[in-house]
Chain A
Amino acid sequence: MDPARALATRFRLVQHPDLRILTFDGESLVFNPRLWHTHFLNASAGLILECLGEAPASAAELAALLVDEAGRPALPPDQIATALAELAGLRLIEPDDAAAAA
Chain B
Amino acid sequence: MKLGELPVGEVERLLRREGLGLAFGPARVRLRSEVGALAPALQRVYAAYPVEAPGGFYDVSARLAPAGGLRRFVRPQVSFWLDGESPFEPFPADTHLPLVEWGVNWAIAMRLNQHLLLHAGVVERGGRAVLLPALPASGKSTLTAALASRGYRLLSDEFGVVRLGDALLLPMPRPVALKNESIAIIRAFAPGAVIGPEFPKTRKGTVAHLAPDAASVAARHTPAAPALIVFPKYTPGIGVEVEPAPKARAFAQLSVNAFNYELLGPAGFDAVGAIVSRCGCYQLRFGDLDAAIEQIGRLLG
Contact = CB atoms under 8 A, between A and B. Distances in A.
A and B: bona fide binding partners: yes
Interface of A: 18, 20, 22-25, 27-29, 31, 33, 36, 38, 40
A29 B266 CA distance: 12
A27 B251 CA distance: 11
Contacts of A33: 265-266
Contact of B252 (A25, A31, A40): A40
Contacts of B252: 29, 38, 40
Contacts of A23: 248
Interface residues of B, number: 16
B269 A29 contact: yes
Given A18-B265, A18-B266, A36-B262, A27 B273 contact: no
B247 interface: yes
A20 B261 CA distance: 14
B255 A27 contact: no
Interface in B240-277: 246-249, 251-252, 255, 261-262, 265-266, 269-270, 273, 276-277
Interface of B: 246-249, 251-252, 255, 261-262, 265-266, 269-270, 273, 276-277
A24 B269 contact: no
A33 B270 CA distance: 13
A24 B265 CA distance: 20
Contact of B251 (A18, A24, A36): A24
Per DSSP, chain B at the interface is helix
A24 B247 contact: yes
A18 B268 CA distance: 11
B246 to A, nearest CB: 6
A27 B277 CA distance: 13
Given A25-B246, A27-B246, A29-B273, A20 B266 contact: yes
A27 B247 CA distance: 8
B182 to A, nearest CB: 33
A24 B279 CA distance: 12
A16 to B, nearest CB: 10
Contact of B248 (A18, A29, A31, A36): A29
A22 B255 CA distance: 14
B255 A24 contact: no
